[in-house]
Structure 1
Amino acid sequence: MSFPKKGKSFPGNGANGGGSQSSETRFAVEIAVALKRSLGSTHAAVKTAAAWTGANERTAKNWFSGRYGPSGEHLVALARNSDEVLHAFLSMAGRSDLIAAVKLAHLEYAAEDLLATIRQMNGRTM
């Protein structure tokens, strides 16, 4: 088997090239899906993720493609800004119970915001 002209791995060797996905590859793909759900697939989305993390745009583009996953520091920044990334991380960690808690907190905030709007409307009509 010869080395590919570009890249760092053997083609189709099973580890990363053609067999079952490694856990590192699954992680990168899950984060890519979450980023696309959260921000979309545009260049502006890549720029937003790069701004959130302080990472280079090329690095963020690799996250969106699922080629590489973010490092721990960047993952924290992404999860801070994107509920989709946070949910993907918690799901991969087997902590679905915490996803429900996050959704409940958002629901409570939305209910409080709605009540404040209703109170404000009632105050104007009186």
Structure 2
Amino acid sequence: MFPKTGRKLHSGSGETDLAIMISQALFAELGASHRATKTAMGWTGASERTVKHWLAATHVPKGNHLVSLARHSDQVLGAILLAAGRGDLRIALDLDAVRVKLLELAALLGGG
């Protein structure tokens, strides 16, 4: 006998974990307001409904949307690196953020 086929697609636990990680990263970066949805829409060109699915962790951003989110959000990029088992590369992101802050501080001290 052949199993029944239906319309419901089952995602693997890895995809569910990634959806949760991306959702948490977006909330950490953007907050929980409606503005967060609008900001993510602007970053990716995705529809409001699509972004709300990402925030609810029911869907994972795919392809260009995922790349656009990673381009604009260090939190999302970090989540992707962790999901890929490359969490050690997050140190480079953190070091770059520290470098930028130090340059800003040096400009403030030099300009005053």
TM normalised by structure 2 equals 0.87
Q: Deviations over 1:72-98 (max 9, x none)?
A: 211110011111101111111111221
* Residue aligning to 1:100: 91
CA distance in 2, matches of 1:33, 1:97: 19
Q: Hey, what does 1:118 align to over in structure 2? A: 109
- Name the residue aligned to 2:72: 81
> Structure 1: 5+ residue runs without aligned partners?
1-7, 122-126
Say whether residues 1:68 and 2:67 are aligned partners: no
Q: Which has the higher contact order (CA 8 A, sep 6+)?
A: 2
% identical aligned pairs: 43
2:44 is matched with which residue: 24, 48, 53? 53
Separation in 2, partners of 1:67, 1:101: 30
The letter for the 1-side match of 2:100 is Y
Q: Which has the higher helix share?
A: 2
Over the aligned positions, Cα root-mean-square deviation in angstroms equals: 1.8
CA deviations on 1:55-113 (whole Å, 9 max, x unpaired) are 01100000000000101211110011111101111111111221001110111111111
